[in-house]
Structure 1
Amino acid sequence: MVNFVSILAVALLAVSQGVEAKNCKARLHYCGRGLLNKGNYYDQIIEALTGAGQPTDTDHVNSSLFYCKTDGNIIFQSYCGSGGCVNGGAGNSDYC
């Protein structure tokens, strides 16, 4: 029984760390599409777009650039438009 509890505790710790790793990395810029792939950012994206007076259509959700604050919240930066939002690669900011 003790081994089962120990295994369960280790498994729960691993899962909780995996969920934590899904947050955006502070001080980097992310395309909306990248945030959606990283985790459940849809509501935050809609809130950031609305707060900036931007449309909330699918193109603006996916092709806008957002800044990741130190608390994990995001701030709208710009809409990338027809040029699209470009993934900057691991550890780098995305850009228009």
Structure 2
Amino acid sequence: MAHPFASMLVTLGFLRSELHLADDTREHDGCATPTSRRSPKLVTELELACRVGKIARSLVWLPAVRAEGFESAGAFRRAPLSSLAAVLAESPIDLG
């Protein structure tokens, strides 16, 4: 089970990377605007879902890296830990 907004974690992280946005940019505000008014409740829900999504992301990485073998996983060997550590990031969509 997951929050439906958790899928936005990777999408928003990709957009931040591709658009070279600063860490304090709240580009996800625009995603939560079904009308011209911003919805603080939806933004709060999105931020929470992205933080929780990082834990799920870590739990997905762990068996994948373990199956490959941590020694032969190369740059991905730290992915489970990096994903989990990203929960503490200031921005909820920072992937670490």
TM (norm. structure 2) is 0.27
Which protein is richer in strand relative to its size?
1
- Bigger relative contact order (CA 8 A; separation at least 6): 2
Which protein is richer in helix relative to its size?
2
Q: Which has more radius of gyration?
A: 1
